C-alpha cells in the first residue's frame, strides 16, 4: 500500500503485436520505478500477431509488470484466448457477453495491498449484439463492497459518444472510465464534476507508421479494391500510449489523469516530442 500520496495506476492502450509487447517490456518496468506505480492495467487483445493473446505472451506481459489484462471484440477469434481465460483470472473479457460464456469481465483484485474493482464492457454501437453495457456496469458495481475504493471501468467501443455517455453515467461512482479499441489516442482527459477521471481512448501501444498498427499497403489494397488482404503488423514509429491515473484512497475519487505518449525505438526508451515524459515530481 502506498505510504503516502495517491494510488497511481498506469493504463496502457491496446498492445499490438511484437512492437507493442517490446515497448511494454522495455518501458513499463522503468515507469513502475520512476513514477512509483502501484498498478498497471493493459488491453492485450491484439498482442499476438495483431489479434489475440497466447498463454506465453500473457506471462511475458505479466513479467514486465502488467497486473491486469483485458480482451475485447476479438475475444472469440483465437483459440489461444480461451486457454488464457481458463488459466488466468487476471485476464478479463467484456462482461456483457452472455453469462455462460467463458471467463468474466469483473474482478476485485488486490494490488500493492489495495483492492481494485475493475469492469470491462463492450460497446454496442457498430460492435454487434451484446447486453447493455450501462446496465452491465451497474450490476457489476453493485457487487463491490464499500471498502473497494479504487474502481475502474473500461469501455471497449467504436463510438466516442457511447464512451462519453458511460463516463457521465457513472460519474461519482467510480475512480475512472477509459475507452479502448480505436487505437487512436484522444485529447479529452479530464475529471468529471463528481470525481471520476475520463478519457475516450487510451490509443495504441504499437507502431504508428501504418493503419492502427498494421502495415498500410494491405489495408489500402482492401479499401481501394474491396478484395481480401492479409494484414501484417507494422513495425516503425512505436509508442506506448495510455494514461496515468491518480486516486485518493480515502474517497476513491480521481485526483489526476494525464495522457501518456512515450516513443520507443531501437535505441530504447526516449521522450516523445509531443508529450514530455513525466517525472515523479510532476505529481507531488
Quick one: cell of 156?
A: 471497449
Quick one: cell of 227?
A: 478484395
Residue pair 138/157 in contact (Cβ under 8 Å)? The answer is: no
Quick one: cell of 8?
A: 497511481
Which of the residues are catalytic? Answer: 74
Phi, psi (degrees; rounded to nearest 5) at 86: -70, -35
3-state secondary structure the chain: CCCCCCEEEEEECEEEHHHHHHHHHHHHHHHHHHCCCCEEEEECCECCCCCCCCHHHHHHHHHCCCCEEECCCCCCCCHHHHHHHHHCCCEECCCCCCCCCCCCCEEEEEECCEEEEEEEEECCCCCCCCCCHHHHHHHHHHCCCCCCCEEEEEEECCCHHHHHHHHHHCECCECEEEEECCCCCCCCCEECCCCCEEECCCCEEEECCCECCECHHHHHHHHHHCCCCCCCECCCCEEEEEEEEEECCCCCCEEEEEEEEEEEECCEECCCCCCCCCCHHHHC
Amino acid at each position: 500500500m502506498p505510504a503516502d500520496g495517491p494510488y497511481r495506476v498506469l493504463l496502457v492502450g491496446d498492445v499490438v503485436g511484437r512492437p507493442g509487447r517490446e515497448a511494454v517490456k522495455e518501458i513499463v518496468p522503468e515507469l513502475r520505478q520512476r513514477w512509483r506505480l502501484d498498478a498497471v492495467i493493459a488491453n492485450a487483445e491484439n498482442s499476438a500477431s495483431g489479434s489475440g493473446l497466447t498463454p506465453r505472451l500473457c506471462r511475458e506481459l505479466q513479467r514486465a509488470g502488467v497486473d491486469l489484462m483485458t480482451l475485447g471484440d476479438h475475444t472469440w477469434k483465437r483459440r489461444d484466448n480461451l486457454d488464457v481465460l481458463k488459466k488466468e483470472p487476471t485476464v478479463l473479457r467484456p462482461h456483457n457477453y452472455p453469462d455462460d460464456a467463458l471467463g468474466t469481465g469483473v474482478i476485485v483484485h488486490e494490488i500493492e495491498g489495495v483492492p481494485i474493482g475493475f469492469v470491462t464492457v463492450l460497446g454496442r454501437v457498430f460492435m454487434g449484439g451484446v447486453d447493455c453495457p450501462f446496465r452491465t456496469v451497474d450490476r457489476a458495481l453493485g457487487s463491490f463492497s464499500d471498502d473497494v475504493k479504487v474502481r475502474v471501468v473500461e469501455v471497449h467501443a467504436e463510438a466516442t459518444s457511447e464512451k462519453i455517455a458511460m463516463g457521465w453515467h457513472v460519474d461519482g461512482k467510480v475512480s475512472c472510465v477509459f475507452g479502448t479499441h480505436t487505437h487512436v489516442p484522444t485529447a479529452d482527459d479530464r475529471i468529471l464534476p463528481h470525481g471520476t477521471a475520463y478519457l475516450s481512448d487510451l490509443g495504441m501501444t504499437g507502431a504508428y507508421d501504418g493503419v492502427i498498427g498494421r502495415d498500410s499497403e494491405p489495408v489500402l489494397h482492401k479499401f481501394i479494391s474491396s478484395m481480401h488482404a492479409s494484414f501484417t503488423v507494422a513495425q516503425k514509429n512505436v509508442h506506448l500510449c495510455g494514461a496515468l491515473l491518480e486516486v485518493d484512497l480515502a474517497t476513491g475519487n480521481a485526483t489526476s489523469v494525464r495522457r501518456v505518449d512515450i516513443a520507443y525505438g531501437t535505441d530504447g526508451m526516449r521522450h516523445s516530442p509531443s508529450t514530455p515524459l513525466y517525472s515523479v515530481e510532476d505529481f507531488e
